[in-house]
Amino acid sequence: MELRIEQTSSTPSVYFNKETNILLIEGRSISENPTEYTEEISKWLKENISTSKIDELILIVKLEYYNSSSFNNILKILNDIEKEYKKGKKIKIMWYTHKDDEIEKEDIEEIKSQFKMPIEILYF
């Protein structure tokens, strides 16, 4: 059930706290190949949420900066989580953004229109 991915200069840290059911993605995601960490998250989700090892998940996304390929891969992760939400799992997304960043605002609107699960927008 453990998930820990160390931050690099181009990828964020990823950590699941099994006491609180919080999955935290934090840092910068500027890799041109973000699948190096997002595939590991997707695999972990399938092994732990899809198999009912975890009934509740709080995803906290605190990315100071991300590029478009990272954003697309995060959407894939959100897709995986949305499937479990539709099956009745308790899911909450907390997405931190910069208040004055217009691109991030557009991304947030895309996320909110695409997914039905609760998404709380917070500011750095």
> What domains are defined for the chain?
4-123 (3.30.750.24)
Q: Which helix (H) or strand (E) holds 42?
A: helix 35-48
Quick one: which H or E segment has residue 124?
none
The DSSP symbol for 24 reads E
pLDDT, residue 71, reads 95
With contact defined as beta carbons under 8 Å apart, do 39 and 48 qualify? Answer: no
CB neighbour list of residue 16: distance below 8 Å, 6 or more residues apart: 1, 2, 3, 4, 22, 23, 24, 44
| DSSP category for residue 11 | S
pLDDT at site 67: 95
Helices (H) and strands (E) in the chain, counts: 3, 6
Tens place of pLDDT per residue across the chain (124 aa): 799 999 999 999 999 999 999 999 999 999 988 987 899 999 999 999 888 788 899 999 999 999 999 999 999 999 999 999 999 999 999 999 998 999 998 999 899 999 999 999 999 9
Indicate the helix (H) or strand (E) that contains 16.
strand 13-17
